[in-house]
């Protein structure tokens, strides 16, 4: 199944607990990648998105990608990434609450017009400044680029995560270039090894049909 990934996916994905028993094969030591053989997850994670300009002095609404806002009040310098892939460093001069919403001010952004030019950009901060992970929850930055296997056979690589109904959806680019989606649930994805950059699909899951 082809499709484009969500441009503004949340900064973390939660994998609901297993809802049906399913067997899984044990990875062979000859085929399992190790953390030392693969690049480490990047040290920055997407924590927020810049919203609409606020006022006339260059401030912007700061929209949490995790749904929580407390950690945004202590956000440090960030790396901004545009929807088109442009990247720029930004120094945060202040974050404040306004009616339950977070408002951010960036050095060098002094006018409403300058702020509007940044609307839609994502703020990537230091990993320790992100919302703490709960059990079976993963940062999207850690999932993207992870290799996907099924019974030790390479299937593809995770290229995105879309918010779904009962669970998020992993977008996987298959070995032949096609893309398909897998519900990020323990019954379909029983093994997630972020450090080893490896995800294992349920052996009985037909990723060609989504069943």
What CATH number is given to the structural domain containing 33? 2.30.30.240
Domain carrying residue 66: 44-129
In this prediction, what percent of the chain has a pLDDT beyond 70? 76
> Is residue 122 located within the same domain as residue 151?
no
| Domain stops at, among 91, 114, 129 | 129
> Is residue 103 located within the same domain as residue 140?
no
> Into how many domains does the chain fold?
2
Residue 157 burial by CB count (10 A; 0-12/13-18/19+): exposed, middle or buried? Answer: middle
> Is residue 53 located within the same domain as residue 122?
yes
- Alpha-carbon distance 48 to 155, whole Å? 31
Question: Is 2 a domain residue?
Answer: no
| Domain stops at, among 103, 129, 155 | 129
pLDDT at 30: 27
* Residue 195, token pair as written in the block: 């450090």
Residue 26 burial by CB count (10 A; 0-12/13-18/19+): exposed, middle or buried? Answer: exposed
Question: Is 67 a domain residue?
Answer: yes
Question: Is 27 a domain residue?
Answer: yes
Question: Is 69 a domain residue?
Answer: yes
Model pTM above 0.75:
no
> Is residue 105 located within the same domain as residue 172?
no
pLDDT at 60: 96
> Is residue 36 located within the same domain as residue 48?
no
Question: Is 208 a domain residue?
Answer: no
Question: Is 79 a domain residue?
Answer: yes
Residues contacting residue 106 through CB under 8 Å, at least 6 positions apart: 58, 60, 90, 91, 92, 93, 118
Which tens digit of pLDDT belongs to each residue from 94-144? Answer: 999 888 789 999 999 999 999 999 999 988 877 776 666 777 778 777 888
> Is residue 36 located within the same domain as residue 53?
no
pLDDT at 200: 95
> Is residue 25 located within the same domain as residue 85?
no
Question: Is 58 a domain residue?
Answer: yes
Question: Is 80 a domain residue?
Answer: yes
| Domain stops at, among 87, 109, 129 | 129
Lowest mean pLDDT among 11-15, 129-133, 171-175, 188-192: 11-15
Does position 154 have pLDDT exceeding 80, yes or no? yes
> Is residue 191 located within the same domain as residue 172?
yes
> Is residue 107 located within the same domain as residue 165?
no
Does position 206 have pLDDT exceeding 80, yes or no? yes
Which tens digit of pLDDT belongs to each residue from 72-95? Answer: 777 778 889 998 888 999 999 999
């Amino acid at each position: 199944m082809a499709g484009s990934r969500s441009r503004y996916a949340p900064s973390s994905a939660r994998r609901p607990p297993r809802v049906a028993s399913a067997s899984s094969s044990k990875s062979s030591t000859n085929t399992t990648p190790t953390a030392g053989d693969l690049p480490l997850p990047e040290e920055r994670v997407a924590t927020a998105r810049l919203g609409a300009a606020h006022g006339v002095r260059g401030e912007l609404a700061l929209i949490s990608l995790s749904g929580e806002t407390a950690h945004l009040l202590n956000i440090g310098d960030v790396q901004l990434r545009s929807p088109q892939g442009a990247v720029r460093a930004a120094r945060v001069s202040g974050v404040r609450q306004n009616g339950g919403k977070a408002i951010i001010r960036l050095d060098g952004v002094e006018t409403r017009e300058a702020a509007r030019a940044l609307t839609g950009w994502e703020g990537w901060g230091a990993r320790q400044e992100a919302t703490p992970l709960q059990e079976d929850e993963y940062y999207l930055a850690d999932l993207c680029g992870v290799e996907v296997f099924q019974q030790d056979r390479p299937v593809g690589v995770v290229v995105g995560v879309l918010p779904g109904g009962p669970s998020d959806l992993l977008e996987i680019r298959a070995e032949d270039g096609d893309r398909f989606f897998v519900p990020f649930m323990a019954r379909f994805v029983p093994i997630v090894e972020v450090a080893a950059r490896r995800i294992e699909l349920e052996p009985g899951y037909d990723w060609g049909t989504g069943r």
